[in-house]
Amino acid sequence: MGNIVVSPHDKEGQHHMMATPTSNNPNGGSAATAKNKSEITVLLLGAGESGKSTLFKQVQFFHGVGITHDQERIELIEIVRLNVLENAKNLVAATQHLNIPIEQPENRETAKLIINSLNTNDLEDPSWSKRLYSLWKDAGIQKAYENREKFQLYDSTEYLFENLDRICSDKYVPTVVDVIRTRTKTIGITDMKFDVGDGKQLRLVDVGGQRNERRKWIHFFNTVDAVVFLTSLSEFDLNLYEDNGYWRVKESLRVFNEVVNNALFYKVPFVLLFNKRDLFEKKIATKSFSKYFSGFNEAEEKNPVACIEYMTKLFLNEITEHPLDTVSVKTLSAIDHDNSKQVFEEVKQFIMTQQHRE
Amino acid sequence: MPILSATCLVLYIILVVICAIGVIKKRKSGHLQSRTISGIVVTLTGSFIYVSVTLLRFTVGRSRFPCMIFSIVSYSIPPCFAMPSILRCLRLVFQHRFNLIKTNTLSSSYCMQQEQQNTESLFIQAKQNSNNSNNNSISTSNRNVNSSVMTSVVETFENNQVIAREENTTREKFIIKAHSILTNNTASLIVFWLSIGVQLFLWFVLMVVEDSFFQNEHYFMDGALLISLGKGCGLGFPSTLFVVGISICYFIVEFIAIGLCFTVDNDTWHIKREVFLLVATQILTAVIFTFLSVASVVEIVDYFVPSGFVVAAYSTFELVLTILIPIIRAIHADSKEKRECDSEIEMIISNKETFQIFLDYLRKSFCPENLLCYADIEKYKRETALRQRKKIAHRMVKKYLYEDSPFQLNLPSDLYSVKTVIMDNISFADNQNALTDDLFADIQLHVLSNLVDSYSRLKFSNKTIQKVSNDWNAKQKRLSPRSPMISLSSMTSLKL
């Protein structure tokens, strides 16, 4: 079926960047292999923007796939620049929406160009680096950015604006961090396989998280050997991308409830990952956590450990069916390479031991 | 008089040549395909035989034009006129019924797209099979069409029982069969030429009869024998009776076929409209023709407006309506399509081969809805008739924006609220408030950006796409400024 088995010493070096979908036969292929356990299928699940694809990209990267090569990252220039433009557009739109004027006249000019005519290829011109950065530093834009919980904005905004001098150049080659940081909304389902030793293969399945995408998950539920459920710690002040009147935490809890109590997963090891720990710690320093959770002790709201403990309880309370001893809870910062590697290693170990026990 | 006729003849021949070239050039276009090439050829030949001979006769002079050619053409008038219309109506009716069956079959396996594809391909296979078996039966004998239809229907469907759902009734099978005959080029050409052949045979019999018994009486034609080449003639009373009689038979068949057309929905290619317009003109022609025939007792009227001219005019109108206008539409549609693509993804989508590769990849990744929606939006933009636009737009909103639809798109929440705006636009659309091309502009832009993720993955895994992408980028580099993967500049409004 043209699956790409990923190993660090792939000679082709060209076409293995992303795995081809093996999903045209989700039930047939791995049902047989599930018996002899030479292939372990791990699902990355979670609501939209919980970091599934970021973790997916990290796993690809530390298995030496794809974005380790310069010429493959070059192909992603467009996507990085598209992110820059979308961020800029969203911020400019937010100033209109929130009625915050952009203060400097020349920045208003830039904003107009961004909305009307700017394309990713224009960013080859280094002069855009200064113009976009000046726009970013505009008091109006900064004020909108401070209120970013009121509209949809990517987590990568600040990072990308701070790196404009590299991005706006005709010699730009995205770094690994750039690629990890860029947001691309995953549509549908993708997967990849790689060797994990002992003649075993791990098949990691990445999915889209928005409501309409979740309907497609069911295709994979039968063949699964472990579930990694991601939820974002920093979403406590945000609403959904697909439904702006709906609190993200509520949605995450709901999805978690549906997944963890699904009869198909009773016997499957389950990992709950609290992602975006880095962002979360920054956020609670300036924002009130207890404002969103009435049951939380206000005095503890600047203590990340207490907050995470509270969130953990909130999620574990949702578990009514799944045996608790096969559930593992961890925190993660998926944009951090070392942390991802360590957490993923732990997850892998947990899944393997659970399977041994069986 | 001869000068006027000669001028008309030249103009007419120019029209025929233009039509013929147009048909050959645009034969792949939907506007012509839906009318089938054979249908067009039948109309063209029928019209050409009659009009060229009539005009030539007026040019040369009625008393000098060989009576044999005139009588042969006069005798084959009925099928020349009626057959193209009859075939056109029947084809329309059966195409409609056939597609009804097809959509019913497919909608039962709507969600399972793989299944859907299989059914579809099996259907095509079945169609081809029946076409083949049909060719043989038709070429052996035309008279047995109906019986052979039934037997080969049974055969074909026994071979393809997989697709024949349990509820596939005999009626459905008949429709599928009839559809495949009517859309088969060879079959309809054979039917047409056979009907003319019958007329020629009748002429031949009468000619032999006349030659043996009435040699000196010019019984069938006025002023000459059926066979005479040197002298001109007019239609004699027995011949008029004969031609009118046969015509009535053909018209009865034609009216039955037209009656069936009333049950058909309006089609994308305006065939139904065309059929009814033609019928109206045909009736009008018949009225004027009868009037002139009566009036032509007064020789002077016939001298200025020969009744043959009226029929020739109708025939020319038919050519313009059923061939020239579709050709013009096809050319117009093609020029619209060939506009420069703004971005790489649009280029990939606009090319048929890469579109299929992309769609196939998306299907395997469980997200074909984005590309399907993009294609539907393009279809919507190509449609010009308001009623069709409304229908398409309404279907699209239901299919792609409703929360319970399996094809619901992944859009930010503000675009879901656009749904209400679009629905309002659709329901209030009338002649004053047209449905604009940019009704789905925001949706289309988002669909494109949704495709970016899948497209960049496809590019890494598919050699063909890689090659097309590289070629295109190389070409774009030469024309600066280079075009991006997707173009954001088409964003019409800002929303949050």
Closest approach of A243 to chain B, Cα-based (Å): 5
- Ligand-binding annotation for A155, yes or no, is yes
Q: Give the model's confidence band at B298: pLDDT under 50 very low, under 70 low, under 90 confident, else very high.
A: low
User: Does B304 lie in the same domain as B331?
Assistant: yes
Chains A & B: contacts with CB separation below 8 Å: 129
Alpha-carbon dihedral sign for residues B22, B25, B31, B35: positive
Strands A189-197 and A5-6: parallel
**Average pLDDT value for residue range B43-54:** 86
**Quick one: A168 and A194 in the same domain?**
no
Would you call A206 a catalytic residue per the annotation? yes
User: On the CB side of A91, how many CA atoms lie within 13 Å of its CA?
Assistant: 32
**Whether residue A61 is found in the same domain as residue A142:** no
Residues B327 and B231 both lie in one domain: yes
Same domain, A143 and A212: no
Q: State the complex-level ipTM.
A: 0.82
- Known catalytic membership, residue A223: no
**Within a domain: B12:** yes
Question: What is the distance between the alpha carbons of residues A349 and B343, in angstroms, rounded to a whole number?
Answer: 45
What are the backbone angles phi and psi of residue B261, rounded to the nearest 5°?
-60, -25
| Residues in chain B closer than 8 A to A144 (CB atoms) | none
Closest residue on chain B to A95 (Cα): B496
CATH of the domain at B468: 1.10.167.10
Q: In chain A, what residues touch B489 (CB-CB under 8 Å)?
A: 116-119
pLDDT in tens, A132-164: 999 999 999 999 999 998 888 999 999 999 999
Q: A254-263, pLDDT tens digit by residue?
A: 999 999 998 8
Look up A54 and say whether it is catalytic.
yes
**Highest mean pLDDT out of A307-321, B24-38, B61-75, B233-247:** A307-321
* Sign of the dihedral defined by the CA atoms of residues B14, B18, B23, B29, in that order: negative
Confidence of residue B476 (pLDDT cuts 50, 70, 90): confident
A309 and A192, same structural domain?
A: yes
| Cα B415 from Cα A242, distance rounded (Å) | 9
Q: Give the strand pairing for B234-235 and B221-222.
A: antiparallel
Counting Cβ atoms within 10 Å, is residue B281 exposed (0-12), middle (13-18) or buried (19+)? middle
A79 and B452 in contact by Cβ < 8 A?
yes
The per-residue pLDDT for range B237-255, each reduced to its tens digit, is 778 888 888 888 988 998 8
A204 with A330, same domain? yes
How far does B373 lie from chain A, in Å, by closest CA?
14
Q: Are A36 and A201 in contact (CB under 8 A)?
A: no
**Residue partners of B210: CB distance under 8 A and separation at least 6:** B219, B220, B225, B226, B227
Do B326 and B359 lie in a common domain? no
Nearest to A20 among B366, B461, B496 (CB): B461
Residues B380, B317 within the same domain:
no
- Which of A20, A212, A215 is the closest to B409 by Cβ? A212
Residues B287 and B374 in one domain: no
Domain range for A230 is: 39-68+186-357
Same structural domain for residues B370 and B405? yes
Same domain, B392 and B291: no
What is the tally of structural domains in chain B? 2
CA distance B489 to A118: 6
Closest to A287 (Cα-Cα) out of A249, A233, A236: A236
CA distance A18 to chain B (A): 6
Distances (CA, A) of A185 to A25, A47, A189, A213, B495: 24, 12, 11, 11, 19
**Cβ-based contacts of B488 with chain A (< 8 Å):** 82, 85-86, 89, 118-120
- From A81, A183, A203, A248, active-site residue: A183
Taking residue A73's Cβ as centre, other Cβ atoms within 10 Å add up to 19
- The residue among B302, B335, B368 that closes a domain is B335
Residue ending a domain, among A144, A173, A202, is A173
B87 phi/psi in degrees, rounded to 5: -60, -40
For A72-111, what is each residue's pLDDT tens digit?
Answer: 888 889 889 999 999 999 999 999 889 999 999 999 999 9
* pLDDT attached to residue A313: 93
Q: Give the residue from B340, B280, B291 showing the smallest Cα distance to B314.
A: B280
pLDDT tens for residues A304-334? Answer: 999 999 999 999 999 998 888 899 999 999 9
- Same domain? For A125 and A265 the reply is no
pLDDT tens digits, B328-372: 888 877 765 555 566 788 888 888 889 999 999 999 888 999 999
A228: β partners: A44, A271
pLDDT recorded at residue B137? 38
Q: Which domain holds residue B241?
A: 2-97+183-335
Residue A29 counted as domain residue: no
Catalytic residue, from A54, A157, A182, A331: name it. Answer: A54
Q: What is the pTM of this model?
A: 0.60
Task: Judge whether A182 counts as a catalytic residue.
Answer: no
CATH number at residue A137: 1.10.400.10
Contact A241 B362 (CB under 8 A): no
Domain shared by B91 and B220, yes or no: yes
Residue matched to tokens 């469907």 = B157
Based on the domain organization, do A237 and A148 belong to the same domain? no
Tally of domains in chain A = 2
Residue A252, marked binder: no
Tell me, yes or no, whether A337 lies in a domain.
yes
A207 is in an annotated binding site: yes
Instruction: Give the one of A18, A19, A85 whose C-beta lies nearest to B488's C-beta.
Output: A85
For residues B480 and B469, give the distance between their C-alpha atoms in angstroms, rounded to a whole number. Answer: 17
Catalytic residue (choose from A22, A41, A49, A237): A49
Is the same domain home to B373 and B396?
A: yes
A206 and A351 belong to one structural domain? yes
How far away is chain A from the Cα of B487, in angstroms, using its nearest Cα? 6
Within a domain: A257: yes
- The residue type of A153 is L
Same domain membership, residue B204 and residue B326: yes
